[in-house]
Chain A
Amino acid sequence: MSELAIERQIDRSHMTISDEVAIQINNMNKWYGQFHVLRDINLTVQRGERIVICGPSGSGKSTLIRCINRLEEHQSGDIIVDGTELTSDLKNIDKIRSEVGMCFQHFNLFPHLTILENCTLAPIWVRKVPRKEAEDIAMHYLEKVKIPDQAHKYPGMLSGGQQQRVAIARSLCMKPRIMLFDEPTSALDPEMIKEVLDTMIELAEEGMTMLCVTHEMGFAQAVANRVIFMDQGQIIEQNEPHAFFNDPQSDRTKLFLSQILGH
Chain B
Amino acid sequence: MTTLTDTPKQGFRLSQLIYDTRYRSITIQVIATVLIVAALWWLARNTVANLTALGKDFTLEFLGNRSGYDINQRLIAYDSNATHGRAALVGILNTLLVAGLGCVLATILGVIFGVLRLSKNWIVSRLAAVYVEGFRNVPLLLWIIAIFAVMTESTPSPKDFRGENPVASMALADNVAITNRGAYIPEPLFANGLGDVEIKPGGIFADLYFNVSIDLIVILLTLVASLLVVKLVNTRAADIQNATGVRPTTWWVNLLIIVAPIAALLWGLGFYLGKPELSGFNFAGGTHLRNSLLALWLALSLYTGAFIAEIVRGGINAVSKGQTEAAFALGLRPNRTMRLVILPQALRVIIPPLISQFLNLTKNSSLAIAIGYMDVRSTLGGITVNQTGRELEGILLVGLFYLLLSLAISTGMNWFNDRVKLKER
Contacts and interface: CB of A to CB of B under 8 A. Distances in A.
A104 B425 contact: no
Interface in A207-240: none
Interface in B297-341: 320, 322-323, 325-333, 336, 340-341
A131 B345 CA distance: 23
A112 B423 CA distance: 7
A34 B325 CA distance: 24
B419 to A, nearest CB: 13
A28 interface: no
Contact of B245 (A71, A112, A129, A170): A129
B422 A94 contact: no
Interface stretch (A4-12, A46-54, A117-125, A190-198): A117-125
Given A108-B323, A128-B245, A131-B242, A122 B328 contact: no
User: Chain B interface mostly helix, strand, loop or mixed?
Assistant: helix
Interface in A156-174: 156-157, 167, 170-171, 174
Interface in B125-147: none
Nearest to A97: B331
B241 interface: yes
Contacts of B164: none
B322 A106 contact: yes
B330 A126 contact: yes
Nearest to B348: A112
A171 B424 CA distance: 21
Contact of A130 (B242, B330, B340, B348): B242
A101 interface: yes
B246 interface: yes
Chain B CB count within 10 A is highest, among A109, A110, A157, for: A110
Contacts of A104: 322, 325-326, 329
A58 B241 CA distance: 45
Nearest to B326: A108
Contacts of B382: none
B341 A110 contact: yes
A173 to B, nearest CB: 9
A178 to B, nearest CB: 12
Contacts of A69: 328-329
Contacts of A157: 425
A111 B331 contact: no
B197 interface: no
B72 interface: no
Given A108-B326, A132-B243, A154 B424 contact: yes
Contacts, number: 89
A174 B331 CA distance: 9
Interface in B395-425: 422-425
Given A110-B323, A112-B344, A156 B329 contact: no
A51 B412 CA distance: 56
User: Chain A interface mostly helix, strand, loop or mixed?
Assistant: mixed
A119 B128 CA distance: 37
Chain A CB count within 10 A is highest, among B327, B329, B341, B425, for: B329
A98 to B, nearest CB: 4
Contacts of B344: 112
Contacts of B336: 125
B173 to A, nearest CB: 41
B244 interface: yes
A112 B329 CA distance: 18
Contact of A110 (B241, B326, B331): B326
Given A104-B325, A104-B326, A156-B425, A111 B243 contact: no
A133 interface: yes
Nearest to A157: B425
A97 B328 contact: yes
Contacts of B422: 111-112
A98 B246 CA distance: 17
A109 B325 CA distance: 11
B241 A131 contact: yes
A129 B241 CA distance: 8
Contacts of A125: 332, 336, 340
A97 B337 CA distance: 14
Given A97-B330, A132-B243, 13 more contacts: A100-B329, A104-B325, A108-B320, A110-B341, A112-B344, A121-B330, A122-B327, A122-B330, A126-B332, A130-B245, A133-B245, A154-B425, A167-B326
12 contacts: A104-B326, A106-B322, A108-B322, A108-B325, A122-B330, A124-B245, A125-B332, A126-B331, A130-B241, A131-B241, A154-B423, A156-B425
